[in-house]
Amino acid sequence: MTGADVLLLALGAVAVGAGALVVGTRHLVRAGLWLVVCLGALAGDYLVLTAELVAWVQVLIYVGAVVVLLLFAVMLTRAPIGPSDDLDRPGWPAALVGAGSGLGLAVLLVDAFRWSRVELPAAGTAERLGEQVFRSWVLPFEVLSVLLLAALVGAIVLSRPDIGRLTERTEPAAAAGDEGGRR
Amino acid sequence: MRPVIPYVTAALLFGLGGYGVLRRRNAVLVLMAVELMLNAVNLVLVTADTTVRAVLPHSGQVFALFVIVLAAAEIGVGLAIVLQLYRLRASVTVDDVPLAERSSEGAAR
């Protein structure tokens, strides 16, 4: 056991424990806050695994943006202070599927790697990853940008009810007049 | 570095995420569980990058970046759908989402 192994074990235990609290807690807001702990521990894991850029991107996008969005959604929909009882449905099938897939994958991976040891490769700095992205993975990168644009437009269309309503009505002129009157 | 430690962490996180997706009734909590599963996949990709010497170096980490971008797009559209659902029904319980009601509603109109 080297220092890296101890760090990986500790961060992994934190991540799994916080993940269990995310899916187990009865406080809506606390689930989001435990998600921050879980994602932060995973960012630490990436740092130990020498994936510097991925770790910082994880902190920026997941902890910085995705969790904030999720907490916004919690606040906008319903934010009861204190525990809520109606968050879960009876969960034996879920526990069976979750434990089955998790433990099954764990057994598979333990059997594949045993207690073997590898040397850590050169660190994945922004320079090296950028070289790979723009040399070998340019097409997927560009396709991803188109996908982000599509997701952006989709989210805007979904969250504006007046766009869908205009096309649903039979008389667009009446609908436009209605819109103007409401404004 | 023993690669089995992060691999087992990722497997357990994936199991927890699957459990959460099936167990939770609140749509926002379902999305959080999906994030857990995506992060487990990311951890597998980054760990595989250290254990497998690929032809292209750092492919696993590049894929992890792509998965993070996909997760960001997914959460944006997913939360837009959830908020729209809340606006229509004043609840985000996934059990109550009508899957077959839409066609009859359209006919009634």
> CA-based Rg of chain B, rounded to a whole angstrom?
19
Return the structure tokens found at A180: 């103007």
Which phi and psi (to 5°) does residue B92 adopt?
-115, 30
Between vectors from CA B47 to CA B42 and to CA B48, what angle results, nearest 5°?
Answer: 95
| Domain co-membership, A37 together with A109 | yes
- Which pLDDT score, from 0 to 100, does residue A159 have? 84
Token look-up 């101890």 returns: A6
Q: Residue A61 sits in a domain of what CATH number?
A: 1.20.120.1200
Residue A38 buriedness (CB in 10 A; 0-12 / 13-18 / 19+)? buried
pLDDT tens digits, A80-106 = 777 887 778 887 889 999 999 999 999
| Domain co-membership, A108 together with A18 | yes
Is any Cβ of chain A less than 8 angstroms from the Cβ of B6?
Answer: yes
DSSP per-residue codes, A39-85 = HHHHHHHHHHTT-HHHHHHIIIIIIIIIHHHHHHHHHHH---SS--S
| Domain co-membership, A76 together with A109 | yes
- Which pLDDT score, from 0 to 100, does residue B34 have? 95
Mean pLDDT on B1-28: 93
- Which pLDDT score, from 0 to 100, does residue A57 have? 94
pLDDT tens digits, A120-155 = 888 889 999 999 999 999 999 999 999 999 999 999
| Domain co-membership, A23 together with A62 | yes
Fold of B4-96: Helix Hairpins (1.10.287)
Is the pLDDT at A165 greater than 70, yes or no? no
- Which pLDDT score, from 0 to 100, does residue A181 have? 42
Of B11, B58, B84, the CB nearest to A129: B58
Q: Cβ of A103 and B77 within 8 Å?
A: no
Q: Are A22 and A93 in contact (CB under 8 A)?
A: no
- Which pLDDT score, from 0 to 100, does residue A168 have? 55
pLDDT tens digits, B51-69 = 887 788 889 999 999 999 9
Strand partners of residue A88: B24
| Domain co-membership, A100 together with A76 | yes
| Domain co-membership, A13 together with A59 | yes
Q: Cβ of B7 and A65 within 8 Å?
A: no
Residue in B closest to A18 by C-alpha = B13
- Which helix (H) or strand (E) is B51 found in, with range? helix B27-51
0.90 surpassed by complex ipTM: no
How far does CA B38 lie from the centroid of its chain? 5
> Does residue A76 lie within any of the structural domains?
yes
- Which pLDDT score, from 0 to 100, does residue A81 have? 74
| Domain co-membership, A67 together with A116 | yes
Residue type, A22: V
Domain that holds residue A155: 137-173
Q: CA–CA separation, A14 vs A40, rounded Å?
A: 9
| Domain co-membership, A167 together with A116 | no
Which carries the bigger pLDDT value, residue A158 or residue A164? Answer: A158
| Domain co-membership, A68 together with A144 | no
Is any Cβ of chain A less than 8 angstroms from the Cβ of B35?
Answer: yes
Q: Cβ of B31 and A78 within 8 Å?
A: no
Mean pLDDT on B26-41: 94
Among candidate residues B35, B75, B76, the one with its CA nearest the CA of residue A155: B76
Residue-range domain boundaries for chain B: 4-96
Q: Cβ of B26 and A57 within 8 Å?
A: no
Is the pLDDT at B43 greater than 90, yes or no? yes
> Does residue A130 lie within any of the structural domains?
no
Residue type, B75: I
Mean pLDDT on A20-29: 91
| Domain co-membership, A100 together with A155 | no
Counting DSSP H helices and E strands in chain A, the numbers are: 9, 0
pLDDT tens digits, A30-76 = 999 999 999 999 999 999 999 999 999 999 999 899 999 999 898 88
Is the pLDDT at B87 greater than 90, yes or no? no
> Does residue A38 lie within any of the structural domains?
yes
Domain count, chain A: 2
Residue in B closest to A105 by C-alpha = B11
- Which pLDDT score, from 0 to 100, does residue B109 have? 42
